Amino acid sequence: MGNMPKVIKGFKEETVTISYPEAIDEAGRCYLCHDAPCSKASPVQTDVAGFISRMRSRNFRGALRLIKETNFFPGITSRVSPYDEQCEAVCLHKRYGGPIRIGELERVLADFDRGSRRPYLPEIPESIGKSVAIVGSGPTGLSAAVELVLNGCKVIIYEAARVAGGVFTKGVPSYLISDDVIDHEVGSVLSLGVDLVTGINAGESINLTSMKQSFDALLLTIGMEKSRRLDLEYCKKADVFTGAEILESLKLKAKRLRLGEKVLIVGGGNVSMDAATALLKLGVGEVTVIYRRDREHMPVFESRFQMAHRSGMKIMYRTMLDGIICDSQNAISAVKLKKTVLKETEDGRVVAETVADSEFTKDADTVIYAIGQQLDRDLVDQFDLETNEMGRIKVDQATSQTSDPFIYAAGSCVERVDTITTALAKGQLVARNMVRCMLEKGGGR
């Protein structure tokens, strides 16, 4: 019965890539299109045809270098980003024999580089005499750091957690990607000469006045750290977690989770599916996901949905959580659910409305919210930054500056970012904006 503490162990990376002979065949299949659509569909504009062409003549090193020019984290993105919905989706080979498996090719190259004696590191250009502090070491922050360093800036990153990497280290389950890959690719950023300070709560430790004296700019890539929760009445001791908490504790092995045998997960995104998959892999008896709309409205990547589906996840569409019922020992015994009906709004969005008198109960002993993240306002309030109607930091589109021109912001704390590759692209963009603005302002400090 419920509430048995589960021993959280790391998972072994389960996804396998294609073998060397298969990769050579696959690269050979590519048409090497003119003005290739795959490159345009890649959020970071990777020269896909270019690297495949190099791969075909067994120039693996050159191919990897070309990828790294636009994506410093190919080992991570090729495992986690939905290439099938990005570059592979527009591959013109689709009609004859299916799209080229670009993600797998990239992964083969990244693994080749990681295993080589001298993994690739770009040359650092001459300093332009600018120095930047970055708060947050998630994909956007790391990607911005790389771009800044490659433009001759000095960079220091402040990270609140014990380790750098943000969603890489906290949010992506180990069965999708092994720690080695993350360590290697995050570590390679530090090898470029980026300084990293971990365990720093920026809100408490960073003084803006002294910052302005020591740095030319401050970049916030703080992501959406707070998990949303439903405002429901239930006893406070009950086992209600957030998806992010579950994934983080699996990943960092920091906490022991008291999980039951009948887990209910609320939400239809990647965090929800990843949590479901992970718990089922841990041996949780029953994991049910409820989602208020239909499959086609779920923001989850197809591959991650399939993974949860294969692991045995149960799913209830058009269902909402309406209440949590606890027993006399303050433990969850059941949940109250309601059915929904879908309606199209005037602006074309599909919203779910609850159906009157559709309430029903379902046995459950653990509830997990995976209904999205929100901005942790501590730092924003401390720096007195303006936010937008979406509750995110407001920035100037052209310069990426916040209401304080010294402070820049990018990534999911500014706008909706769906994939890690997109986050990388945002990091590159903000870095370029920063370099431009810093140089326009003129002179070194």
Partner 1 sequence: MDVNLKIKFCGVTLINPFIVSQVPPNGELETIKAQLEAGWCGVLLRTASLSADPRKPTAARIRQVAPFYRGVDYEEKRAVDLGWIEPESPMSVDEAEAATASLKEAYPDRVVIGAMVGRNREEWLKVSRRLSQAGADIIECDFSISAAEENPRGPRVVDDLKLMEKAARYVREGARNTPIIFKIPGMLAGKEQVVNILKSADAEGINLFYEPKGVPGINLTNFVPFPNVGAKSTLSTMGGAGIKPYTLGVLAEWGKVNKDLEVSVLGGAYNWRDCAEYILMGAKLIQFHGAVLQRGVRLVDELNSGVGDYLNEKMVSSLDKLVGKSLPFFTTPDKLPRTGRVVAAIDDKTCIHCGICYQVCEGLGYHAINFSSQRKPVIDKKKCLGDGLCVASCPVFNCMSLRRVSTK
Task: Please give the residues from 336 up to 365 whose contact with partner 1 meets the rule CB under 8 A.
Answer: none
- Nearer to partner 1 by C-beta: 100 or 133? 100
Of positions 19, 25, 98, 330, contacts partner 1 by CB under 8 A? 25
Q: Please tell me whether residue 96 binds partner 1 under the rule CB under 8 A.
A: yes
- Nearer to partner 1 by C-beta: 96 or 209? 96
Q: Please tell me whether residue 33 binds partner 1 under the rule CB under 8 A.
A: yes
Stretch in the footprint of partner 1 (CB under 8 A) among 1-9, 90-98, 192-200, 391-399: 90-98
3 state SS of 429: helix
Stretch in the footprint of partner 1 (CB under 8 A) among 22-30, 131-139, 305-313, 333-341: 22-30
Of positions 3, 61, 69, 92, contacts partner 1 by CB under 8 A? 92
Euclidean distance between CA atoms 132 and 130, whole angstroms: 7
Closest distance to partner 1 from the beta carbon of 96 (Å):
7
Q: Please tell me whether residue 117 binds partner 1 under the rule CB under 8 A.
A: no
- Nearer to partner 1 by C-beta: 20 or 360? 20
Q: Please tell me whether residue 191 binds partner 1 under the rule CB under 8 A.
A: no
Q: Please tell me whether residue 37 binds partner 1 under the rule CB under 8 A.
A: yes
Euclidean distance between CA atoms 106 and 88, whole angstroms: 12
Which residue in 183, 146, 40, 147 sits closest to 102, CA to CA?
40
Residues in the chain: 445
Q: Please tell me whether residue 31 binds partner 1 under the rule CB under 8 A.
A: yes
Of positions 8, 27, 63, 284, contacts partner 1 by CB under 8 A? 27
In the chain, what is the greatest distance between 2 CA atoms, to the nearest angstrom? 69
Contact 392, 413 (CB under 8 A): yes
Q: Please tell me whether residue 35 binds partner 1 under the rule CB under 8 A.
A: yes
Which residue in 196, 156, 212, 210 sits closest to 445, CA to CA?
212
- Nearer to partner 1 by C-beta: 29 or 394? 29
Of the chain, the end-to-end C-alpha distance in Å amounts to 64
Closest distance to partner 1 from the beta carbon of 248 (Å):
42
Q: Please tell me whether residue 116 binds partner 1 under the rule CB under 8 A.
A: no
Stretch in the footprint of partner 1 (CB under 8 A) among 32-40, 74-82, 155-163, 345-353: 32-40
Of positions 6, 56, 61, 436, contacts partner 1 by CB under 8 A? 56
- Nearer to partner 1 by C-beta: 89 or 334? 89
Of positions 19, 57, 116, 388, contacts partner 1 by CB under 8 A? 57
Contact 79, 174 (CB under 8 A): no
Closest distance to partner 1 from the beta carbon of 118 (Å):
16
User: How many residues sit in the footprint of partner 1 (CB under 8 A)?
Assistant: 17
Euclidean distance between CA atoms 253 and 118, whole angstroms: 31
Strand pairing class (195-198; 217-220): unpaired
- Nearer to partner 1 by C-beta: 100 or 324? 100
Stretch in the footprint of partner 1 (CB under 8 A) among 88-96, 221-229, 268-276, 389-397: 88-96
Strand pairing class (366-369; 240-242): parallel
DSSP state of 399: T
Which residue in 284, 258, 292 sits closest to 370, CA to CA?
292
Euclidean distance between CA atoms 289 and 263, whole angstroms: 8
Euclidean distance between CA atoms 325 and 264, whole angstroms: 13
Q: Please tell me whether residue 152 binds partner 1 under the rule CB under 8 A.
A: no
Q: Which helix (H) or strand (E) holds 375?
A: none
Strand pairing class (350-354; 319-326): unpaired
Strand pairing class (360-363; 332-344): antiparallel
Residues that bind partner 1 (CB under 8 A): 24-25, 27-29, 31-35, 37, 56-57, 92-93, 95-96
